[in-house]
Amino acid sequence: MKAHDLLGTTLRRVSRSFYLTLKVLPRDVRRPIGLAYLFARAADTIADTALISRADRLKYLELFREAFRDGEVGRVREVSEALTAPNGNAAERELLTRVEEAFALLQTLEPADQSMIRRLILTLTEGMVMDLTTFPGEDEGRLVALEARADLDRYTYYVAGCVGEFWTDIHLAHRPSLVRWDRGVMVRRGVRFGKGLQMTNVLRDLSKDLRIGRCYLPRQDLEELGLHPADLLDPTATTKVKPLLRDLLGVTLDHYREGWAYTLAVPRREVRMRLACAWPLLIGLKTLALIGQSPNLLDPSVIIKIPRRAVYALMVRSCASSGSNTLLDLYYRLLRRSVLVSV
């Protein structure tokens, strides 16, 4: 199969939403970003599959990492063969069978692009290893929390903040219009951008993660409130944990502020890049508002999800104002105020 099929049909089957986002991006960054996404999804499939034990997931994830570290692509075939059982997800199964093709496509990129992708995947998978070694298996009936706020910050860098760094460097390498960017400043903002989006996931998925043994709320912070991680399995603990949730929501909004500064620093003529940056932040703010309004984040029956029509309306409105920092910023501030009012 051709490269365009790997980054077209296969990617669309794995994630239609990311496929559509990729189509918005400038053409010259689509291949490296699309390929990086496929590698990340392949690694995520290895880390999350229920087809093999946690010990085997760690083993195969390490083989996958070795391919990026040492260039030993041949061992990836062993990973693919172990994880392509017929009862797995069909799209993910197809992706895993084509990982060697993805590595071949990686070799056709500019050496600098290859290096950026390798660095990104090694960092992302560090977060996956952290998940698998910190928390118990889903069926062990135990609950473990991250120890300290610094561990949460490190985790959000591994699984999302590093994406902001990659995103910055890949655009700097391919978009001459960004020549005035200060890389150090924009990388720091990009990292905060990614951390903010991951913190949104942590807060939104709190009750679900607790029930598979994962508590991303730091044990030290819980202890200050007189709580143990297991207490959070009882939805009535919501009153006691609310100060911590409110504090983490504030941390998340601080990250968003830096992410928004990143977005407004994208030149106005780079409409595609501006929209690709603005959409996840604006959607994230709507999600944070729902989180703040939620009657009980510890109750697994409470589902936090933005209706699809609201997402489409947001995209249309942001498209109409993408050429004006003033109009775009007004919309951002409106959504941010809705979060502040809700907490």
Per residue in 194-248, pLDDT (tens digit) is: 999 999 999 999 999 999 999 999 999 999 999 999 999 999 999 999 999 999 9
> How does pLDDT run across 82-129, given as a tens digit for each residue?
776 655 678 888 888 888 899 999 999 999 999 999 999 999 999 999
The CA distance from 125 to 227, in Å, is 31
Q: What angle do CA 246, 247, 249 make, to 5 degrees?
A: 65
Phi, psi of 194 (to 5 degrees): -65, -40
- Copy the structure tokens of residue 113: 């692009």
Higher pLDDT, 137 or 97: 97
Minimum mean pLDDT range among 64-78, 133-147, 174-188, 295-309 = 64-78
Among 226, 194, 272, 268, which Cα is nearest to 22's?
272
Outline where 49-182 has alpha helix (H). 54-70, 76-82, 90-97, 99-106, 111-134, 149-156, 162-174
Looking at the structure, give the CATH architecture of the domain made up of residues 135-343. Answer: Orthogonal Bundle (1.10)
Which helix (H) or strand (E) segment holds residue 215: the answer is strand 214-215
The CA distance from 83 to 102, in Å, is 17
pTM for this model (two decimals)? 0.93
Locate the domains of the chain by residue range.
1-112, 135-343
Longest dimension (CA), the chain: 58
Which helix (H) or strand (E) segment holds residue 205: the answer is none
> How does pLDDT run across 264-302, given as a tens digit for each residue?
999 999 999 999 999 999 999 999 999 999 989 999 999
The predicted structure's pLDDT at residue 23: 87
